Every structure is written in structure tokens, then in C-alpha cells.
């Protein structure tokens, strides 16, 4: 029987995960085509939940569809759009559909998305949602009422190693651990020295959780500048931007840069999470360059 992500997590295997975004429509064929190139090469596939506050097909439906095609999905769930009743209901629905892995996020504000007039909910934040999952796993809802049957999730959260100041981010990470987070995926890593400082600051948590360093394959120098300007905690050095500007083959240069980052952080974390933004073919190239055979 094929080992599941949560089993590999417990065993201490070096983990590789990637990410897909559901379509703005009902056909998942483009998603299946995109992710096929990493079949058997990653341990799980994250499914984003209205990423960037842009309305798309739901992460639960897309996760179930990937599961039916032999992928192990990690279903992202944000707090932005649902109150605690809907969040609990969706968690039970995900479990009933065979989805075992949940990644908890607070979620981008609707003002950043394609429906800026939408009312944000934020009844709970990410720490509160982790608490909900802990209660459900213990057989009770958030109101303390007993469940007829309980879900058994593998639960993850996110952390930004480039946060400035870093201390509040570590305090929040500690709260997430206390509420049951078993693994963490980081924001994109480009600043190796900054990542080393972060790793030193979480030594006390390393025996408790598994940490997956985040890698975003760049598409262009323009994308790098945009990330520097608009994504808090992300710092892409000028040297990397210059390499992208001078590259005759942007995809090749992006995969080389990402492979170098992977090599630099590999011994500092328990796995890698790729955020390729509709470009899993780059993930396959990076894995080739990094010695992870097909």
C-alpha cells in the first residue's frame, strides 16, 4: 500500500510538496495536466483556498479530485470567508471525502482580490482554526458538543522566516504548535542568512514539528521585484534579480537559482515546499538538478 503523507511525516522522511491553484471554472483538466509531471516525485500536493482572495473552485472539491487520481492532497483552509460553523462543517466534509491533510491559513483580505466589495469574516484566525481542529479530533465541536464520529487530520500551518521583527512570528508559531500544528511550510526563502537566523530561533521547536522550507521558482526579474515590493517578509537579493535579467533562458535560470536555494537550506529543514504558481514543470526541472530522480 502506498504510504501517505502523514505516515512519512511521522517517519521523519525528507518531504517534498508542491502546490496547485484550482481553476476559475469547473474543469480541472488543466490542473491534472500541470501536476502530472511531478507524479511520484512529490509526497503531497497543496491545494490553495481562494489564494489572493480571488474566487475559484473550492479547495475541498479539487483535493478530492486529486485524491481520486492518486495524489495525496493537502487541503488549504482559510479563515477569511467562513464563520466557525461553516469552518467546522467544511472540515467534517473534507474528512468524510477522505481528505486527511489540512493546512491552516488566515487568508488574504478581500480588498486584495477580485471581489474587493466582499465582506471579510475572520471569525477565527489561524490559531483559532487550529484549536477547532484539535477539538474536532478530540471528538467535540467548538461549542463542546460531542461528535458522532471524529476526523483524524494531519495538520499544518505557515510561518514567515523573513518577518521583521521576527519575535512576534515565533510567538505565533509557538501558539500554533500548542494548538496541534504538526508541520509548517515557510514563506519563500531567498535570503539564506536570514533563514539561518530563523532556524536558530526555533531550535526549541524542531523536535516537535517538521519544517518545510518554501521555494518559489521565479519567472522573471519583474516577478522578483513585485515580490520584494508586495509580499511581506520576502527579500530577493539584487544578485538574483540581476541573474534573471541577464538570462537568455529564464526558465533554466529560475530552475538553477531554485536548485541552489534548495541545496543551501536542505540540511536546515525537514523538507521543501514548492510554490510554482501554475508552473510545476519548473518543479520537475529543479528536482532533476537537485538529484531527486524521477
CA-wise closest residue to 221 among 198, 197, 201, 241: 241
What pLDDT, on a 0 to 100 scale, did the predictor assign at position 232? 78
pLDDT in tens, 234-280: 889 999 999 999 999 988 999 999 999 999 999 999 999 999 988 99
Listed by start position, the domains of the chain span: 5-214
What pLDDT, on a 0 to 100 scale, did the predictor assign at position 277? 87
What pLDDT, on a 0 to 100 scale, did the predictor assign at position 294? 61
pLDDT in tens, 87-101: 999 999 999 999 999
What pLDDT, on a 0 to 100 scale, did the predictor assign at position 1? 58
Low-confidence winner among 1-5, 61-65, 88-92, 117-121 (lowest mean pLDDT) = 1-5
- Which residues contact residue 49 at a Cβ distance below 8 angstroms, ignoring those fewer than 6 apart? 58, 59, 75, 76, 77, 78, 105, 107
pTM: 0.95
Residue 230 pLDDT > 90: no
Domain spanning 5-214 has what CATH number?
3.20.20.220
What pLDDT, on a 0 to 100 scale, did the predictor assign at position 2? 79
pLDDT in tens, 169-178: 999 999 999 9
Q: What is residue 15's three-state secondary structure?
A: strand
Name beta bridge partners: 159: 186
- The model's confidence at residue 233, banded by pLDDT at 50, 70 and 90, is confident
- Which residues contact residue 125 at a Cβ distance below 8 angstroms, ignoring those fewer than 6 apart? 79, 106
Name beta bridge partners: 15: 271
Amino acid at each position: 500500500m502506498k504510504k501517505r503523507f502523514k505516515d512519512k511525516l511521522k517517519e521523519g522522511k525528507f518531504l517534498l510538496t508542491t502546490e496547485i491553484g484550482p481553476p476559475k471554472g469547473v474543469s480541472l483538466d488543466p490542473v491534472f495536466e500541470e501536476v502530472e509531471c511531478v507524479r511520484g516525485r512529490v509526497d503531497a500536493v497543496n491545494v490553495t483556498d481562494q489564494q489572493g482572495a480571488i474566487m475559484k473552485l473550492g479547495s475541498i472539491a479539487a483535493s478530492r479530485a486529486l485524491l481520486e487520481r492518486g495524489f495525496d492532497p493537502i487541503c488549504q483552509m482559510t479563515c477569511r470567508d467562513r464563520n466557525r460553523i461553516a469552518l467546522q462543517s467544511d472540515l467534517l466534509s473534507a474528512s468524510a471525502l477522505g481528505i486527511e491533510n489540512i493546512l491552516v491559513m488566515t487568508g488574504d483580505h478581500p480588498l486584495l482580490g477580485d471581489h474587493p466589495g466582499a465582506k471579510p469574516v475572520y471569525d477565527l484566525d489561524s490559531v483559532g482554526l487550529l484549536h477547532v481542529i484539535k477539538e474536532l479530533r478530540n471528538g467535540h465541536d467548538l461549542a463542546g458538543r460531542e461528535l458522532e464520529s471524529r476526523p483524524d487530520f494531519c495538520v499544518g500551518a505557515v510561518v514567515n522566516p523573513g518577518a521583521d521583527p521576527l519575535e512576534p512570528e515565533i510567538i505565533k508559531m509557538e501558539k500554533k504548535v500548542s494548538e496541534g500544528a504538526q508541520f509548517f511550510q515557510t514563506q519563500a526563502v531567498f535570503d539564506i542568512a536570514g533563514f539561518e537566523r530563523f532556524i536558530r530561533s526555533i531550535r526549541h521547536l524542531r523536535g516537535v514539528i517538521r519544517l518545510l522550507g518554501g521555494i518559489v521558482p521565479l519567472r522573471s526579474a519583474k516577478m522578483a521585484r513585485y515580490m520584494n515590493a508586495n509580499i511581506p517578509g520576502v527579500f530577493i537579493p539584487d544578485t538574483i534579480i540581476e541573474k534573471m535579467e541577464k538570462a537568455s533562458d529564464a526558465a533554466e535560470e529560475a530552475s538553477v537559482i531554485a536548485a541552489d536555494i534548495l541545496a543551501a537550506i536542505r540540511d536546515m529543514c525537514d523538507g521543501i515546499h514548492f510554490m510554482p504558481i501554475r508552473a510545476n514543470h519548473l518543479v520537475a526541472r529543479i528536482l532533476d538538478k537537485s538529484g531527486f530522480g524521477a
